[in-house]
Amino acid sequence: MSALQCEQTAKKPHLRTDRSHPIIEMDRAQKALLHFPRHEPHPHDAAGWMNSRRRRAFDLLVAFAALLALAPVLLLLALLVFLTSPGPIFFRQRRMGRHGMEFTLYKFRSMRASAASGSPITVVGDARITRVGALLRRYKLDELPQFWNVLKGDMSLVGPRPKLSQHEALYLRVRPGITGPATLAFRQEEEVLAGVPAQELDAFYQEVVKPSKAWIDLDYISKATFRSDLHLLSDTFTSCLGISSPRSTEEWIAIYRHTRANYEMPANEELSA
């Protein structure tokens, strides 16, 4: 069964893949994902703030201050990665940036070095993730080196996440970000993807998750302001610390459902309870 066929069974309490796999229980978040628009969004004009010099200056100031203030934490995390798992401290990967230009993204390595050639999509409980890596990923500490990407001009603090070329649904006219509305909306993405059979995982990501994130990011790009960036940065900080929970996928659907009408997209079937 393909990922798109899953949509037709979303209202049923269980999703059966094939005879070789057990029945998969679909929770509300998985059902919600099936009801985002399937069409990829068309490029739309970015808000003036997104590519402004003021925003770039703000990015530089915050990124420099963060690297300076977090230097002891970064050194400690680097030492933990080095001592607990053989391989490089940093994970480097080519990602898509503004205007389709590729750049090297930096993270603390959270997987075994020997697993570098595996699937780019990870799920909760992935055997490739190290013990320290699981902690880093839980609190998003593996993303901290990307403040260096911000200083270099590859990324911004807030924006669509930089993706692999085959997973990029948007032609970015703005810099990708460390965090953003889609990042918060899909903070529990690995848990959701854990319920998808391995042989369906890439198709499900391509046909369901990727367009969903693209719609959320497109809407934000067209409306972003300094205040909305501050709000998302605050939400990201409190979410990573566990002080507050990010919006559920269902809440994001309610917020962004109007996007389909704005861009004359065909309405999808309403989400069942």
pLDDT tens digits along 207-253: 777 777 888 888 899 899 999 999 999 989 888 887 666 555 555 44
Rounded-to-integer distance, Cα 3 and Cα 71, Å = 43
- DSSP, collapsed to helix, strand or coil, labels residue 161 as coil
Report the mean per-residue pLDDT for the chain.
76
Helix, strand and coil content of the chain, in percent to the nearest 5, comes to 50, 10, 40
Q: How many CB atoms lie within 10 A of CB 27?
A: 11
What pLDDT, on the 0 to 100 scale, is given for residue 267? 39
Q: How confident is the model at residue 71 (pLDDT cuts 50, 70, 90)?
A: very high
What pLDDT, on the 0 to 100 scale, is given for residue 93? 92
In this predicted model, which residue has the larger pLDDT, 201 or 155? 155
Q: Considering Cα of 55, then 61, then 64, then 67, what sign does the dihedral take?
A: negative
pLDDT digits (tens, 9 = 90+) for 157-205: 999 999 887 656 557 889 999 999 888 888 877 777 777 777 777 777 7
